[in-house]
Amino acid sequence: MAEDAFARFRRLRGITSTHPPAPDDPFTLLRLLREMRVTLRSDGNRLYVDITAGNVTRVLLEALRQHQDKLLDLVESYDPRSRG
């Protein structure tokens, strides 16, 4: 995969991401998402994520995909109004 210009600039300048790495467990991921003011809600079997473009990283998206089922359960148990 080709490196985009911004990634190359950051790599050459030694600039690291300001975002922490995504956690491996869904509980810590949920806490991190809430700290980032990311809104999660469920509608039946689907998890909806309201996230700003500045907060999106590939690592965060992969963690959301990996833990989607567990996050859906946590959101439903945390806020019963989120159920569809």
pLDDT in tens, 2-52: 667 877 777 777 766 555 566 788 888 888 888 888 888 888 788 888 887
Binned at pLDDT 50, 70 and 90, residue 70 comes out as very high
The enclosing H or E element of 2 equals none
- Domain limits at 44? 19-82
Domain membership flag for residue 30: yes
Domain membership flag for residue 11: no
Domain membership flag for residue 33: yes
Question: Each residue of 40-51: pLDDT tens digit?
Answer: 888 878 888 888
The number of folded domains in the chain is 1
**Residues whose CB falls within 8 Å of the CB of residue 20, separated by 6 or more in sequence, listed in order:** 32
Rounded Cα–Cα distance for residues 2 and 4 (Å):
6
**Residues whose CB falls within 8 Å of the CB of residue 23, separated by 6 or more in sequence, listed in order:** 29, 32, 63
| CB 43, CB 5: distance < 8 Å | no
